[in-house]
Amino acid sequence: MIRLAVLISGRGSNMIRLAKAIKDYEIAAKITVVISNRRCTGITLAQNCGLATKVIKRKDFNTQAEHEAAIAAAIHYHRSTYVFLAGYMAILSGDFVNQFAGRIINIHPSLLPKYKGLNTHKRALMNKEKYSGCTVHYVNSRLDSGKIILQKRVKISKNETEKTLTRKILIQEHKLYPKAISKIFNL
């Protein structure tokens, strides 16, 4: 069975969708721990689902390396074989990524390689793109540059706003992440 550590920073909607896909037998996996870099709604939701949780705040450590060592220790303690980033809003160092090379997956709200980083919807709208979407990709040491696993394209309407585009793409993220797991592990 695939053992997933899920890293979050916010509301945890993609983590909850993964948990639902597991519960509904869409994917054969287990979420071993949900880790956040701050106290957030997603941690409460994970606890309500009976999932193990750990809040590991950056401010509690002198260096990023110490912070990431604590995250890695939690991942190892729960014997997680893969790390899924689901709205984790911190950039992981090359050392951390290399420790889990080929086993860190991220979901990003744009059609990579376009619009890496933050404010993806705003930038797509400012550039009058006809399409945006979401991408599931492997994480490497360069921001949002790992090998693409799956993408889903979303048409941008003429009167689209950041809020409506965010909502449209999030719906697709919730569908895409479980499909990516199935693809990765040939389920």
User: Tokens 């809040």, residue?
Assistant: 55
Residues with catalytic roles: 108
Q: Are 12 and 46 in contact (CB under 8 A)?
A: yes
Q: Please state, in angstroms and rounded to a whole number, the distance separating the CA atoms of residues 94 and 75.
A: 17
Please name every residue paired with 54 in a beta bridge, in sequence order, or none if there are none.
35
Query: Between helices 162-184 and 13-23, what is the axis angle to 10°?
Result: 40
> Contacts from 113-117 at CB under 8 Å and sequence distance 24+?
113/144, 113/145, 116/143, 116/144, 116/145, 117/143, 117/144
Q: Please state, in angstroms and rounded to a whole number, the distance separating the CA atoms of residues 168 and 174.
A: 10
